[in-house]
């Protein structure tokens, strides 16, 4: 059975992942409002991935005999200055999440919870990818600058993203 300290921090992380989902959904609706459908799709997929992250932690708690406690999700921003501003905020947010995951790992280490450590390894790898993909788009947007053509092309590219996960799956291997 999972230790109360680990249970507590995993519940906090479930809330943080759901807040991330809420943030990216808000960013998606911002892109819809400025007619960048591809950017909006990318953010919608990003939001669904975050729900998936929450579900991984949720399933882990249940499998370990823990209790999931869902708390209020704080409000998220609704306006940004530009697509670049959105992705700079995304990159910053992912760096913050990486810090949260590292703290979670510290707690699991202190409590000698090897099953949680194993589960969290996936999140460590995922955060490398998350930071990288946000930063890549920041760099592209910086290159593009104010070119409408460039934004149009990037919008097409980002619109190709598809959601591959399954939030109902119990297996922690699933994305
Ligand atoms: Fe996440
Ligand atoms: Fe993320």
Rounded Cα–Cα distance for residues 36 and 27 (Å):
11
Window from 25-29, 34-38, 161-165 with minimum mean pLDDT: 161-165
Q: What is the 78 CA–ligand 2 centroid distance (Å)?
A: 18
pTM of the model: 0.93
Of 106, 170, 101, nearest in space to 130 by CA: 101
| For the chain, counts of helices (H) and of strands (E) | 5, 0
Q: What is the 134 CA–ligand 2 centroid distance (Å)?
A: 9
Q: What is the 130 CA–ligand 2 centroid distance (Å)?
A: 6
| CB-CB contact of 141 with 83 (8 Å) | yes
Closest listed ligand to the CA of 43: 2
The token pair that represents 89 in the structure block: 């905020």
Q: Mean pLDDT across the stretch 129-145?
A: 97
The packing angle between helices 114-144 and 83-110, to 10°, is: 160
- Give whole-number Cα distances, 36 to 134, 137, 167, in Å: 17, 15, 26
pLDDT in tens, 42-83: 999 999 999 999 999 999 999 999 999 999 999 999 999 999
Start-end of H helices in 64-113: 83-110
pLDDT in tens, 2-32: 999 999 999 999 999 999 999 999 999 999 9
- Amino acid 175: pLDDT: 41
Percent of the chain with pLDDT over 90: 91
The token pair that represents 24 in the structure block: 């990216």
Of 117, 82, 80, 87, nearest in space to 102 by CA: 117
Q: What is the 127 CA–ligand 1 centroid distance (Å)?
A: 7
Closest listed ligand to the CA of 17: 1
Q: What is the 146 CA–ligand 1 centroid distance (Å)?
A: 30
């Amino acid at each position: 059975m999972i230790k109360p300290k680990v249970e507590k921090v995993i519940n906090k992380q479930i809330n943080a992942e759901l807040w991330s989902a809420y943030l990216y959904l808000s960013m998606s609706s911002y892109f819809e409002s400025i007619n960048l459908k591809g950017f909006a799709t990318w953010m919608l997929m990003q939001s669904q991935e975050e729900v998936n992250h929450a579900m991984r932690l949720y399933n882990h708690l249940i499998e370990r005999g823990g209790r999931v406690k869902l708390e209020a999700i704080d409000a998220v921003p609704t306006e940004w200055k530009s697509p670049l501003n959105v992705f700079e905020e995304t990159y910053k947010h992912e760096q913050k999440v990486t810090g949260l995951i590292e703290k979670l790992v510290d707690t699991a280490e202190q409590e000698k919870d090897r099953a949680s450590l194993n589960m969290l390894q996936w999140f460590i790898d995922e955060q490398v990818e998350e930071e990288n993909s946000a930063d890549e788009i920041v760099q592209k947007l910086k290159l593009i600058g104010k070119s409408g053509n460039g934004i149009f092309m990037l919008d097409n590219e980002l619109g190709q993203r598809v959601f591959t996960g399954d939030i109902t799956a119990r297996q922690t291997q699933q994305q």
